[in-house]
Amino acid sequence: MSVIIIGAGPAGCEAAYRLARSGESVELIEKEAEIGGNLNNWYQLFPDRKQAADLKAKLRKNIEHPQIHLHLKSKPVAFSRQGDGTIQLTLDDGALITGKALLVASGFRTFDAHRKEEYGYGIYENVITSVELENAFINHQINTSTGHAPKRIGLIHCVGSRDEKICRLYCSKLCCVTAVKQAIELREMLPEAEILCFYMDMRMFGPGYEEMYREAQEKYNIKFVRGRLSEASEDREKRLIIKVEDTLVGKPLKMTLDLMVLMVGMEPAEGNDQLISMLNLQTAPNGFIQVSDPHSGTNCTHQKGIFVTGCSSSPMNLTDTLTDARSAAVTISEYLNS
């Protein structure tokens, strides 16, 4: 009997591969037509600027393992247990899958920036999200809506995070470093542009992150303004007029930008609530899946035999997601052998 994994993003793929290598057979379920999840929206990864496509190719190769059965374009619709605790999952194509353990690796979705209406996403043409900027990098083209190379670009931190107004109190962890990485990438494409990051705190916690921040200042001439965006409006040339306070000077600041990039945060994956209720799990205060213990049970849920990994339980960067997936594989192996 197998281990069932919901979600074939980086966490699901990595856990599947580790479990398969330790001799388990794995049923890997993915709702999209391809694996990779949010990784498909990234161009280069921090801190080493590895191509996201290369990492995905590696994950893809790993899950070609004979013990892994990949179900693409599939969603679980019903869950039940047999008398001996065996897990039964019905997929939307009618298939019935059984397993001794279930791993939730449903990941996250990025914050819908329309909800922060005062930032003008979907209203003003030159407001884009960090995800859209990654796509622009993939296509090697950065232009304003009027077809010009932007002269001044602002990257706005904490969009969809740390904000009571949209009921997202937590920090999404990866957007500070994403902003620094994207600012450097922008500088490489646009040597003359003025590039500014508007931040509250620089949360550069990972190895090499703080160094990258320093390099952004010293080598790439990126400017950092400590202030959170209050609102944006548009002028006749489709430029953006932004209002922030430069809190280190203690003065309100009005500035014109040619392009504004919103560093969107992480939210529980689409269908997260339904999954939680279908599997009888608990919802954490931040809306993600509650783990059984914040130190010793980070991959365990409140249901026996059901485990969780990656951004299903809280925002994580890619490094931590992959580490967490390996940890989940170990946790599940122990469970199966006990």
Partner 1 sequence: MSVIDSLKKDIHYIESLNSCMNCGVCTAICPAAEFYNYDPRIIADTVQRQDEESLEALLKSDTIWYCGECMSCKTRCPRGNTPGGIIMALRRASQEQGWFTESEKGRQQFALKRVLGTNILNYGYCITPDIVKPEMHPEQGLVWEWIYEHRDDVYERTHANYRHSGAGTLRKVDDDSLNELRQIFEVTGGSEFMEKIETYSLRKAEENGLDPESYFLQTYMANNGTHGEEKSNR
Residues lying near partner 1 in the complex (CB under 8 A): 118, 162-165, 200, 226-231, 243-247, 250-253
CB of 242 to ligand SF4, least distance (A): 16
Q: Which does 227 bind (CB under 5 to 8 A by kind): ligand SF4, partner 1, none?
A: partner 1
Using alpha carbons only, give the angle 58, 272, 326 rounded to the nearest 5 degrees.
Answer: 35
Q: Which two tokens stand for residue 274?
A: 């339904």
The one among 6, 15, 16, 175 contacting ligand SF4 by CB under 6 A? 175
Angle at 199 between CA 196 and CA 200, to 5 degrees: 155
User: Contact with ligand SF4 (CB under 6 A): which of 162, 226, 238, 243?
Assistant: 162
Interacting partner of 164 out of ligand SF4, partner 1, none (Cβ under 5 to 8 A depending on kind):
partner 1
> In sequence order, what are the residues at sequence separation of 6 or more whose Cβ sits closer than 8 angstroms to the Cβ of residue 299?
291, 307, 308, 309, 324, 327, 328, 331, 332
C-alpha 69/C-alpha 29 separation (Å) is 8
Other beta carbons less than 10 A from residue 96's beta carbon: 10
Nearest approach in angstroms of CB 152 to partner 1 is 18
Nearer to ligand SF4 by Cβ, of 79 and 209: the residue is 209
* DSSP bridge pairs for 252: 245
Residues 6+ apart with CB under 8 A from 197: 154, 155, 157, 179, 180, 183, 222, 223, 224, 225
Which one of ligand SF4, partner 1, none interacts with residue 115, CB within 5 to 8 A by kind?
none
Site for ligand SF4 (CB under 6 A): which residue of 64, 93, 118, 201?
201
Give yes or no for residue 118 binding ligand SF4 (CB under 6 A): no
Rounded to a whole number of angstroms, the minimum distance from the CB of residue 173 to ligand SF4 is 5
DSSP designation for 334:
H
**Considering beta carbons, is residue 129 or 172 the nearer one to ligand SF4?**
172
**Footprint on this chain of ligand SF4 (rule: CB under 6 A):** 157-158, 161-162, 171-173, 175-176, 201, 203, 263, 265
